[in-house]
Amino acid sequence: MPSRDQVHYFGAGPAPLPTPVLEEASKVLLNYNDTGVGITEISHRSPDANAILAHTQSCLRKLLDIPESDGPDGYQIMFLQGGGSGEFSAVVYHMVSLWLARLTTKKQQGLDHEVQKMKLDYLVTGSWSLKASQEAARLVGSEHVNIVTDARKHNDGKFGVIPPSDSWTPSKHADDVALTYYCDNETVDGVEFPSAPDGPNLVADMSSNFLSRPVDVRKHAAIFGGAQKNVGTTGITIAIVSNSILPPHSGMADSKLLRKLGLPVGPIVLDWPTIAKNNSLYNTLPIFDVWIAGQVMQRLLDQSPEDKSPRITTQAAESNQKAELLYSILDASDVYSVVPDRSVRSRMNICLRIKGGDADAEKAFLKGAESKGLLGLKGHRSVGGIRISNYNAVPVAAAEKLAQYLKDFAKEQEGGKANGSV
């Protein structure tokens, strides 16, 4: 049986966690803070739990330079359940309610007609933004969902590009737009936005590149991400939400009015105002998962000079270093073909094919990688191929070992071709 230091895992999620965090976790599971009680057994409303919550929020503010929680320019940091898929729905529930509340401050009559103009703008650049747009259409009707861009229409029916912004078709009137939605990094398709797009009421899914580079938080109405990629364990979703779209700085439409107009009323556990008002403790929060996230964030802070802001820049440099190393090896050999366009290659999820998608060659690659302790490299079931997930907890040494294997495998395949092998 291999030891943990003999194996390097490149799976897309749940993803690796830093070994020191897991070692400490094994201790607090049995006895947290010398209480004689394990961390999964403490009350989520206890002083210990509140301290864990405050510490994790504080770390995240420093890492991403998130404005403090007070005032209309502030941002709330919330921990929810339901994963990124839950937030596909939550953003619709909240932003539609907010849009309607703003409308009713201007008009009291003819709301049925005005609601017909409402639009939710979606940038569809991969599998996850596609799913989000489909959920929005399910909740409010496809007539309200405007696909600003669909990358498949620019790439022979496949994802792998982000079309130029001058080809996008955003809704004509900003006042009609309840939200503009994009997925910053498409895990399945290996596509990452070089920078945040523009659009009214901007909402971002950052599940798979969260805490891997600086983010212009102030440009967004809301940012969310599942924790299980770069932050922690499966079980919590992190949302960063502007006070400007939360009470008392904004109104929310009454549920009776929403129903009357045929618009959805969301479940209370996905309701951002409720979660924010209760500091993420409306229902039982999995405090152990918040603790894990806080420990991961603290490690990132400890690795970054205190005079830097945002503090995530040190990790960003390491993420770039690993990605550049791996892409340089892939680009140097005809054995490999990187799937997405060079201009939008993800630093987190490196998607490739071997010998143009040769099934036997890809099986041989995976088998050889596994024999060397390089695991989790199989592509998503919907697209196949190979996927290298280069998350924060993948150390530079692991990327270097994989880079050497990529070189050796390519040399072996090229040698076989020269000898007439198939």
Per-chain mean pLDDT for the chain: 96
Alpha-carbon distance of 14 to 28, in angstroms, equals: 21
| Furthest C-alpha separation in the chain | 79
Instruction: Kindly state the percentage of the chain with pLDDT values over 90.
Output: 94
For the segment 228-238, the average pLDDT, to the nearest whole number, is 96
Q: What are the pLDDT digits (tens) for 26-74?
A: 999 999 999 999 999 999 999 999 999 999 999 999 999 999 999 999 9
**What pLDDT is attached to residue 5?**
86
Q: Is the pLDDT of residue 247 over 50?
A: yes
Beta pairing partners, 121: 146, 180
Q: Is residue 1 part of a domain?
A: no
Cβ distance 391 to 348 under 8 Å? yes
* Residue 123, SS3 per DSSP: strand
Q: What are the pLDDT digits (tens) for 383-407?
A: 999 999 999 999 999 999 999 999 9
Q: What are the pLDDT digits (tens) for 323-378?
A: 999 999 999 999 999 999 999 999 999 999 999 999 999 999 999 999 999 999 99
Q: Is the pLDDT of residue 195 over 80?
A: yes
**How many other CB atoms are found less than 10 A from the CB of residue 307?**
6
Q: Is residue 138 part of a domain?
A: yes
Q: Is residue 120 part of a domain?
A: yes
Clarify whether residues 100 and 188 are in a common domain. yes
Cβ distance 263 to 112 under 8 Å? no
**What pLDDT is attached to residue 192?**
98
What CATH number is attached to the domain comprising 271? 3.40.640.10
Q: Is the pLDDT of residue 180 over 50?
A: yes
Q: Is residue 307 part of a domain?
A: no
Q: Is the pLDDT of residue 418 over 60?
A: no
For the segment 86-105, the average pLDDT, to the nearest whole number, is 97
| DSSP secondary structure letters along 309-352 | SSTTHHHHHHHHHHHHHHHHHHHT-TTEEESS-GGGB-SSEEEE
**What pLDDT is attached to residue 105?**
87
Clarify whether residues 145 and 277 are in a common domain. yes
Clarify whether residues 239 and 102 are in a common domain. yes
Clarify whether residues 233 and 283 are in a common domain. yes
Report how many domains make up the chain.
2
Range of the domain at 146: 39-299
- 78 φ/ψ angles, rounded to the nearest 5 degrees: -120, 150
Q: Is residue 258 part of a domain?
A: yes
- Show which of 270, 299, 328 is a domain's final residue: 299
Q: What are the pLDDT digits (tens) for 251-285?
A: 999 999 999 999 999 999 999 999 999 999 999 99
Question: Per the structure block, which two tokens stand in for 280?
Answer: 């993420």
- Show which of 277, 299, 321 is a domain's final residue: 299
Q: Is the pLDDT of residue 106 over 60?
A: yes
**What pLDDT is attached to residue 421?**
43
